[in-house]
């Protein structure tokens, strides 16, 4: 399914098999056929200056606007365009098989539903549901997963809601392995953020990263942009027992106050290369802020423009405890750099296996008529995005909260 490895040819802020400008030139002519009507630059709506772009797909069956970010505009534009491509590909998946869990597991390799993040309803092993076949990259065998955790068609009249659904673990790339790596890193990132959020405030404060220790030129340039714009930055080490670098970043305007002051915004990133992980977190925070400034997402509610009740007190306590704690040095975070995308994949799978994970299922959503590699990864046992409205902490988060 994945083919041979692919050498990386682009390494500025991300590791890719093609430069973002090349990706844009190849994919943009196919945008209209996927219902993508507009690709725009919204960087100038904020004063920070970190490039952010949008891709608009009016007939999307999830959100109609996708965002992208990067160190420069081509990166941001390619990021937004590819995110819109992912959503399009995941809306119409197949072929699926309708079966009960008990009947399917009798003859096929199937993910145990109890290892997936539970949704709003208790799973019924006797009720027929849709399943789709993927490839377990750890066991090297076919494996079936619930279609509910793969597709992004949220217009279906009767969603099953047995499991958490969203875009977590959905990724595209210039090569299938590039897409798989991006999806795995996103899953590990969300797991890391969930485990960080499950900790006590003193434990979270102890994860503060010493920004003065950041020595990567691209990350330093991003931090300088925030400083020049008067934006306070906090970064937390969200790396877990898996051992892949992950960071959580939050930003807030230093100036002003009162009822019209913008809330704190967050970004997160994960990558084998800690510099890429941090750059992703820093750029994603700027993207989140611009999303609210532009007001372009159809899933934003008015209440989300304000901090939740009690957030100011919690943030002040977190800041105070972080000042008393010994900060994490940037150089202390795990760091692995490879020349080939296949080497990254083998390392990521090795880290998951060493941490006790038994399956990592890749569902290939690539469509031959477009030739854009799109993958959905499902890793049973990882925590989900803690901001999902139906998220309930799983075993890993509960164990972390109980420390």
Residue 259, pLDDT above cutoff 90 = no
- H helices within 121-263, ranges in order? 176-198, 201-205, 217-228
Query: If you average pLDDT over every residue of the chain, what do you get?
Result: 94
* Sign of the torsion formed by the C-alpha atoms of 36, 38, 43 and 45: negative
Give the tens place of pLDDT for each residue, 80-94: 999 999 999 999 998
Region 225-248: mean pLDDT is 98
Q: What is the pLDDT of residue 86?
A: 98
CB atoms within 10 A of CB 194: 25
Q: Give the chain's domains with CATH numbers.
A: 95-403 (3.30.160.660)
pTM score of the predicted model:
0.95
| Residues 280, 303 contacting (CB under 8 angstroms) | no
Provide the pLDDT for residue 302: 72
What is the per-residue pLDDT for 263? Answer: 83
Q: What is the DSSP letter of 272?
A: S
Check residues 260 and 389 and name the one with the higher pLDDT.
Answer: 389
Tokens of 350: 């090795």
Residue 403 has pLDDT above 50, yes or no: no
Q: Please list, in sequence order, all residues whose beta carbon lies within 8 angstroms of the beta carbon of residue 223, skipping any fewer than 6 positions away.
A: 211, 214, 233, 282
Contact 64, 80 (CB under 8 A): no
Beta-bridge partner residues of 39: 55
Per-position DSSP letters for 212-244, written without gaps between them: GG---HHHHHHHHHHHHTTEEEEEEE---TT--
Residue showing tokens 């490039």: 51
Place of tokens 């208790």: 122
% of the chain beyond a pLDDT of 70: 95
Residue 295 — left, alpha, or beta (φ > 0 → left; ψ -120 to 50 → alpha)?
left
- Is residue 250 within 8 Å of residue 285, measured between CB atoms? yes
Instruction: Find the mean pLDDT for residues 360-385.
Output: 98
User: Hunting for tokens 């340039």 — which residue is that?
Assistant: 221
Number of neighbouring beta carbons within 10 Å of residue 228: 11
As a whole number of Å, the CA-based R_g of the chain is: 20
């Amino acid at each position: 399914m994945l083919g041979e490895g692919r050498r990386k040819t682009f390494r500025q802020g991300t590791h890719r098999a093609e430069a973002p400008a090349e990706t844009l030139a190849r994919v943009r002519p196919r945008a209209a056929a996927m219902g993508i009507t507009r690709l725009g630059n919204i960087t100038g709506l904020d004063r920070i200056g970190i490039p952010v772009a949008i891709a608009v797909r009016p007939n999307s069956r999830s959100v109609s606007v996708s965002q992208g970010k990067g160190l420069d505009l081509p990166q941001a534009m390619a990021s937004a365009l590819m995110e819109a491509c992912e959503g399009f590909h995941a809306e119409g998946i197949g072929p699926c098989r309708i079966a009960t869990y008990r009947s399917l597991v009798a003859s096929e390799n199937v993910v145990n539903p109890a290892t997936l993040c539970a949704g709003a309803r208790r799973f019924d092993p006797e009720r027929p549901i849709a399943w789709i076949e993927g490839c377990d990259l750890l066991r090297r065998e076919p494996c079936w997963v619930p279609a509910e955790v793969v597709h992004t068609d949220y217009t279906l009249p009767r969603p099953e809601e047995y499991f958490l659904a969203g875009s977590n673990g959905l990724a595209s790339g210039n090569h299938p392995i590039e897409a798989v790596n991006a999806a795995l890193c996103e899953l590990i990132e969300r797991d890391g953020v969930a485990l960080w959020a499950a900790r006590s405030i003193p434990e979270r404060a102890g994860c503060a990263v010493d920004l003065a220790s950041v020595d990567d030129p691209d990350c330093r340039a991003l931090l300088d942009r925030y400083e020049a714009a008067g934006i306070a930055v906090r970064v937390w080490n969200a790396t877990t027992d898996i051992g892949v670098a992950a960071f959580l970043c939050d930003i807030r305007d230093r100036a002003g106050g009162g009822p019209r002051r913008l809330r704190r915004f967050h970004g997160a990133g994960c990558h084998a290369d800690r510099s890429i992980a941090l750059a992703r977190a820093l750029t994603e925070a700027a993207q989140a802020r611009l999303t609210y400034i532009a007001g372009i997402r159809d899933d934003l509610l008015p209440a989300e423009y304000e901090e939740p009740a009690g957030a100011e007190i919690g943030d002040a306590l977190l800041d105070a405890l972080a000042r008393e704690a010994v900060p994490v040095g940037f150089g202390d975070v795990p760091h692995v750099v490879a020349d080939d995308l296949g080497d990254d994949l083998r390392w990521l799978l090795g880290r998951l296996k060493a941490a006790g994970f038994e399956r990592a299922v890749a569902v290939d959503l690539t469509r031959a008529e477009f030739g854009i590699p799109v993958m959905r990864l499902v890793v049973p046992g990882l925590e989900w995005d803690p901001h999902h409205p139906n998220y309930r902490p799983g075993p890993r988060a509960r164990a972390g909260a109980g420390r």
